[in-house]
Structure formats: structure tokens, C-alpha cells
Amino acid sequence: MKLKTKPTLRSRKRYIVFRIESDGSLVYENVRNAIYDSAARWIGENEMGDAEVHIVRNLWDGRTKTGFIRCTPKYVDDVKTSLALIHQIGDARVLIHTLRVSGTIKSAREKAGLKNGS
């Protein structure tokens, strides 16, 4: 039997929608590693646990190069800054744009203009 956490004890979440501009195709694992490395350098390894940075794998779209990052509201600006500091993923030069920040995945998709299936 799985015990549920009371709503008052759960941490709040924000979803950051981002799009990557690059010349070539990108592999999810390389994108994930670049984002985590940049966040760890900018936020610091001690505060990464408080920030609860998590890239939602199911929502990564390799065709449009868009994805979602979940974090706590306090660290949204720090995560956005760490995304802006990424200039290269693998051999490809990249530019990462933050499209939207939202409290739910559904509203983030709607506000960013993404289809429900992407």
C-alpha cells in the first residue's frame, strides 16, 4: 500500500517550457546532461536538491526540439539562467529559448502553443 503525502507537505512545482535552436538533431541524453551540468554549475550542487530540477522525458520532442523542466518556484529564474548559459551540446552549437513558465503541464502546453500530443 502506497502512502500519499499530505497536500500541505508536498512541494510546489513550476514547469519551464524551452525550445532549442541548433543546426543538427539532438539526442535526449546529451540535452539532459548539458542541462543538469549547467544547472549544477549555476545553482550549485548543494542547492540542486532544493531546486528539484527534473527534465520530463515523456515531454521531450526531438522533432521540434522542445521540452519541459520541472523545478520549485524559488529557483525558476536560476534554472532559466542556467539554460541561457548553454552554448554547445555535443558537437552542435545551440541556443535555448524559454517559452513559458506555468504551474501545470496542461496550461504550459496551451500557453506555449504546443499540441497536446507533442
Domains in the chain with CATH codes:
14-105 (3.30.70.3250)
Q: Output the CA torsion 99→103→106→108 (10° steps).
A: -10
Q: Once rounded to an integer, what is the mean pLDDT over residues 19-28? A: 90
Q: Once rounded to an integer, what is the mean pLDDT over residues 13-19? A: 94
Give the integer Cα–Cα distance in Å for 28 and 37.
14
Q: Please spell the DSSP secondary structure of the chain, one letter per residue.
A: -PPPPPTTTSPP-EEEEEEEEESS---HHHHHHHHHHHHHHHH-HHHHHHHT-EE-GGG-BTTTTEEEEEE-GGGHHHHHHHHHT--EETTEEEEEEEEEEESSHHHHHHHHT--TT-
Contact predicate 13/108, CB 8 Å: no
Q: pLDDT per residue over 76-113, tens digit each?
A: 999 999 999 999 998 889 999 999 999 999 998 888 77
Average pLDDT of the chain, as a whole number: 89
pTM: 0.86
